[in-house]
Every structure is written in structure tokens, then in C-alpha cells.
Amino acid sequence: MRNTIVVTGGAGFIGSNFILQRMQEKTAPIINLDKLTYAGNLRNLGSVAEDRGYEFVRGDIAERALVRRVLETRLPGAIVHFAAESHVDRSIRGPEDFIRTNVDGTFVLLEEVRAYWSSLSADEQKRFRFLHVSTDEVYGSLGPDDPPFCETTPYAPNSPYAASKAASDHLVRAYHHTYGLPTLTTNCSNNYGRFQFPEKLIPLMILNARDGKSLPVYGDGKNVRDWLHVEDHCDAISKVLQGGRPGEVYNIGGWNEKRNLEIVETVCELVDEMAPRLPRPRHDLITFVKDRPGHDRRYAMDARKIERELGWKPKETFETGIRKTVRWYLENDEWVRGVTSGSYRQWIETHYSS
């Protein structure tokens, strides 16, 4: 067994940021296993593509033979499992892909990792880690005065996406308690930052505001989310991978509860400041659209456990993080054009045509 890390879904938003961060630190070779669905983008990793410590393998985590081959030939010391379908709206329109990837794919991955781990020496088994990256959405919705989600909050998923992630979380837990596989689970709040596919709230609003297009906000815009800069999230994952206790869950949050409407208004102000002016303020582009089914009202994360046990705290405030994010999207138009073609435009038209 080597210190190599296999990262599933490493061409996606969070996975690619994690790989870039780890490659900069030069702590371990990285194998990126990614199916390259619509949200996967190898251009995110162009700066490390030729690095001897990085390798890309195209494939599906649900393909058992491929997963087995990667494990047996690369001999990793850890798996960091990002690969997932992750957009709530898509899960409402087509839940089957979410079950296949998030549930069936995680099951196949766990089975093959268990077989590989069982073949290791006792010392190698002790050092091995399987880190499963999940979401705060498995906990359901909070009332305005409810305390934030903690690691013992009962699961209450309200969308097909959240239910599929909850199922994968339970599988990971079961493989630790039944087979002794040294697993770790992280549940994070809403991420934002560079490389996020523009179906998600913040990049969608930045790009629409830049172009003078409508800014669609669900319902009354008062749904609350806890916002976490992606680089802080990746740093937290590294801390859990290095020092987390096997079998444990760690909630990762930014301590930044914001209403969706507040997010959109902040984006408007920053785009007005950084991009060419329009005839009217971009705030005037905000429109309210019919709320989506099962739209959770509030998420908030209690991240005191990871702070207490591993010494992690977010470095970015929302004010610093959102400014960096808006600037990145405005300055990286080639990347934006590369991901906002064809299927993406068709999806936007289908979803926001009303």
C-alpha cells in the first residue's frame, strides 16, 4: 500500500479544488477517477495535468471491474469520495441518475474497497481511510429558531438528491460497523467558489447579472443557507483525512447563514462594481419564480466538533469569499464559455422557461 489517494469525482467543482490544493502541498500522489458527466471538467485541472504526481482515469464508480483494477494497480492508502449527482432541481426532474450514482455507485465502491482493504496487512489496514463527502441536506429543514444541525441530528431528507445522499451515508456507516472499514464522513453546507457549474445559485446569478439577464429567485427568496468557501471545505477534508477518528462524522460549515435573496443582492452589487455598467442597476433584474417542490427553508451547520477535535476553522468570511468568487467568474470567460454550451443552455431553458 502506498500513500496514493484515489479521488472519485475529481473533475467536479469540489473535487478539482481538492486535488489542486493537495497537489500544491505535494503530500501524496493523486489518482482522479471521474466519469466526466456534464459537471465534470478536466480543464479545471489543466495546471497539474502533466504533473508526475497526478493521474486521470476516466470511469464510473458503478463499474466494479474498473474500480477493482484501479485499486489493485495503484494501491492507494486512502479514498476520498466526491463522485455524486448533486443538484436538487435535476433530482426532482430525473431521480434515477441520483440513485444509480449516489446509492448504487457508492455501494459498488464500498464493496471493492472492502475487498481491497481486506487484502492489506494489519498495519496497512489500520492506516487506510475511506472518506465520504456528503451534504447538510440529509438532515432536512430547520425552523427559524432551531439550533444548527449537529452530527447527531436525525436524518430527514426532503428531495430525491438528499435521500440518495442519506442512503449513501448509511451505507458508509454500515461498512464501518459491520466490516471494520475505517470510514470517515463529512457533511458540508452550501459550497461556492471557482469552477462551480453554473446551474448553482451563485455562479448562475453572477453570469446572468453580468449579461443583463433575469435573476430568478425561488419563492420569496427567504430560504436560508450556510455558505462555505470551497477552499475552506477542501482544507477541512484534508484535516479529517489526516486526523479524523474512523467511524466518525464531521460537519463542515462556514458560520455564514444568509437568505437567498441577500446572496443575489450582494452579487448584483459586486457585479455592478466590477463589470461594465448597465442602463439600470442589476438589482432590477431580480424576478421571483414559483418555488420548487420540497424546498427546505433553512440549513445551518454546527461545526464545533471539527474545530474542537481537529483545529479547523474557515479562513474566508462570506464578504471576502464572495468577492473572490465574483471576480473569478468575471475574469475567466473562456472557462465559462466552455461549460455553458449545448446541454447546459437546454437545461436552463427547460427549467427557467417560465
Residue 85 annotated to the active site: no
Residue 155 annotated to the active site: no
Give the burial class of 31: count Cβ atoms within 10 A of its Cβ; 0-12 exposed, 13-18 middle, 19 or more buried: buried
In angstroms, the CA 109 to CA 70 distance is: 11
User: Cell match 466494479: residue?
Assistant: 64
In angstroms, the CA 269 to CA 118 distance is: 55
Residue 232 annotated to the active site: no
Select which of 137, 199, 231, 296 is catalytic: 137
Backbone Cα Rg of the chain: 20
In angstroms, the CA 248 to CA 302 distance is: 15
Strands 224-229 and 257-259: antiparallel
**Per-residue CA distances from 333 to 255, 282, 320, 328 (Å):** 30, 19, 21, 9
In angstroms, the CA 125 to CA 105 distance is: 23
User: Cell match 458560520: residue?
Assistant: 255
DSSP, residue by residue, 275-314: SPPPSS-GGGGEEEEPPPTT--SB--B--HHHHHHH----
Strands 249-252 and 215-218: unpaired
Select which of 85, 112, 136, 199 is catalytic: 136
Select which of 54, 116, 139, 161 is catalytic: 161
Q: Please tell me what DSSP assigns to residue 295.
A: -
Catalytically annotated residues: 136-137, 161
